[in-house]
A and B are shown apart, each in its own frame.
Chain A
Amino acid sequence: MDTALKTAPATTTQEIRTITGSQALCEAMIQEGVKTIFGYPGGAIMPIYDALYGYEDKLEHILVRHEQGGIHAAQGYARTSGRTGVVFATSGPGATNLVTGLADAMIDSTPLVCITGQVFAHLLGTDAFQETDVINITTPVTKWNYQITDATEIPEILAKAFYIAGSGRPGPVLIDITKNAQLQAFEYKGYKPCHHIRSYRPKPVVRKSYVEEAARLINEAERPFVIFGQGVILGGAEQEFKAFIEKAGIPAAWTILGLSALSTDHPLNVGMLGMHGNYGPNVLTNECDVLIAIGMRFDDRVTGRLDKYAKQAKVIHLDIDPAEIDKNIKATVPVWGDCKETLPMLTALVQQKAYPKWLDKFRECTKREDEAVFQGELHPTTPILSMGEVIDTLNHITDGNAIIVTDVGQHQMVACRYAKFNQSRSNVTSGGLGTMGFALPAAIGAKFGAPDREVVAVIGDGGFQMTLQELGTIMQSGVKVKIIILNNNFLGMVRQWQELFHDRRYSSVDIQSPDFVALAAAYGISGQSVSDRPLLKPALEAMINHDGSYLLEVMVGKENNVFPMVPQGCGVAEIRLK
């Protein structure tokens, strides 16, 4: 009788109870408020999956078709929900399949906790079956990683993992757990969330003098210009941001990850920055006198050539990450801190102002862009559909209320340029890493993260074929994701560069596709393909109104280009309209 009691798993009667490392992991998940886990089982993580079986009512596990799909789904989940995404994978190939997603989450500051199984501790370094040095492989692409070889470490390390992933500038954390630690029973003393690590400062102390200096510069400015990134969304500072630009009356342009932090029809929203951004924000970057960068990192796709970027302007840089200040662009005034804290301080000090003449300049630019680009993209005169009109038609149906998940390439640039957004956390895309194959799994996660919202994945024919196995995840989980494939039968962005910069030498960009609609049907997903303009709107409506997942293939112009464009090696003012 006594022995039976002692060996029974998870005896709950006492305060201190004996549980296994795997159970402690599940307890940690519950304590951290995790509800959905994306993962794939395998040999070295089987004890954890065994424990998960007993927590089925509390922890939902979504079985993906590939670990890369799992981590992208967790990224999508994190981006729409604002919570930390969780991924489980086994050792060896399971773990290495996470690397692309880790790199993506690292560069796009997405909070993730990834759990990988590992061979028994006594086998480490012996080239055991499915053993790989996950910690060292993932070090450059994780905010933090740690290998657990003893179950007693699990509660504390998991608490640290969630704290690190979600605080400060968020990022991916990987915890590698050897199989013996998963199996090991130990005296569980409960779970204590982590709020402080002595070697880790999630956010710098806000220096009031710098905020004051920034306010002084802004108040003296004649042509101030705000550029904002995902920091506004990650800080949950959308309201504070809006209050700031409205009081200061400053036009604001976004980076691709900042998109949706400010509704697209806001009168001060002047559009997109960067290589395929809008004409005005690029050209006028080199005409403003004070450039106020908020939660963005001056990526090379935003700045173009650095020595031709905003040389005339004084730069105020608000960022939570001290290492971003002066990394690419020298800040005249660095305002370190969480913009949720710094923006209200700044708003209090700036004068209520408006810059009608300066705003007119943006409007003039928009007019030029409208004539040169928008008209042709949104209202083409040729019978062949354009990517832009698909997005534009979708806007009319969703009214800007949908979450748009994009992959990488021409369709991504077009979707980000033309999609309407009314609320934050609505744009999910692979920005920094540019991961083709991101959108389909990310859309699955996005829907789990925001189940009440419409999720539309916009994907190219190339990118879709990189992770199309996740149709199986959609089929099995029943998640309702709408998929638009913009099919131009080319790897369009590479082809565009070959056309413009490589004498139309179309090297390996002519990509064949399967019958996407039949493929979806094989997974029990409804769909259709359209290529005629009159059928586009009804097809999009059918897709949105369909109760369930839906795949809509739209055949678009084969050799359409995305313009405007700041060619590589050029300054932002050298943006080409055609």
Chain B
Amino acid sequence: MKQEYTITVYTENQVGLLNRIAIMFSRRKINIESLNTSPSEVEGIHRFTIVINETEDVVRKLVRQIEKQVDVLKAYYNTNDEIIWQELALYKVPTDEIAEKVKVERLLREHGARAVVIRKDYTIFETSGHREETDKLISVLEPVGLIEFVRSARVAIIKESRGFHEKLKEFEETEPHPSTRENEYLDQGENVFVM
């Protein structure tokens, strides 16, 4: 069954790596629903957050192929239950209209939004949340002349994750320690031996 999966990839900061990762999806004709790449908490290491709609079987194989790339340190995949995620949205609306027709204060409170810029001609609101939440604010603002809207890609934190600093130490050792978790799959002994 296809469902939304969030793929988290830790990589070296290397020219051309975005293409190397992107073509792994396009080769299999998988559409990328959302893609974010930015520096991680560890200097020099970038974090990709990629959202796709696929079956687990496809995602598992794909993530292994991604992790195999030389400049990729680690790749994870998670269902929506296993992550906390947000998208950031910006809304540009005419200040006149807003001031006249909308109870701005209530709007901001209800949608957890804040005004980033207030000018004579326009105002920019910002909010973050899941897709439905940012969509809701569009529907509120559209009747009052929404000029422009933009949404960021998803960023996600894996609930179980213990951060990447520890993991990186393992990678920096020349010889991997026997206790190194090479792949989560391998540590699920009982689930692996399907007899």
Contacts and interface: CB of A to CB of B under 8 A. Distances in A.
A376 interface: no
B67 to A, nearest CB: 8
Interface in B139-195: 168, 171-172, 174, 176, 178, 180, 182-183, 186, 189, 192-195
Contacts of B61: 323, 326-327
A198 B182 contact: no
B16 A139 contact: yes
B176 A199 contact: no
A-side interface size class: 20 to 34
Nearest to B170: A198
A332 B11 contact: no
Contact of A139 (B19, B68, B178): B19
Contacts of A213: 193
A136 B73 contact: no
Contacts of A447: none
B70 A199 contact: yes
Contacts, number: 71
Interface string B37-78: 000000000000000000000001100110110111100000
B193 A200 contact: no
Given A140-B23, A143-B70, A205-B176, A332 B186 contact: no
Contact of A322 (B19, B68, B189): B68
B20 interface: yes
A458 interface: no
Interface in B1-27: 11-12, 15-16, 19-20, 23, 27
A75 to B, nearest CB: 20
A143 B15 CA distance: 15
A314 interface: yes
Nearest to A197: B70
Contacts of B15: 147
A199 B186 contact: no
Contacts of B72: 199
A348 B189 CA distance: 22
B74 to A, nearest CB: 9
Given A205-B178, A314-B195, A322-B182, A144 B70 contact: yes
A336 B182 contact: yes
Contacts of A314: 195
A139 B11 CA distance: 16
A262 B90 CA distance: 65
Contact of A135 (B16, B70, B194): B16
A205 B180 CA distance: 8
Interface string A199-226: 1110011010110010000000000000
A199 B68 contact: no
Given A196-B174, A199-B171, A139 B20 contact: yes
Contact of B65 (A164, A200, A323): A323
A96 interface: no
A437 B16 CA distance: 31
A551 to B, nearest CB: 40
Interface in A122-155: 135-136, 139-140, 143-147
A201 B20 CA distance: 18
Given A143-B70, A198-B73, A332-B193, A322 B172 contact: no
Smallest CB-CB A-B distances: 7 pairs: A323-B64, A198-B171, A144-B70, A199-B73, A196-B174, A200-B70, A323-B68
18 contacts: A136-B16, A197-B70, A199-B12, A199-B70, A199-B71, A199-B72, A204-B182, A205-B176, A207-B186, A209-B189, A314-B195, A322-B64, A323-B67, A323-B68, A326-B61, A327-B64, A336-B182, A336-B186
Given A204-B182, A321-B68, 16 more contacts: A136-B16, A139-B19, A140-B27, A147-B15, A164-B70, A198-B171, A199-B11, A199-B70, A199-B73, A200-B71, A201-B176, A205-B176, A205-B180, A322-B64, A327-B64, A336-B186
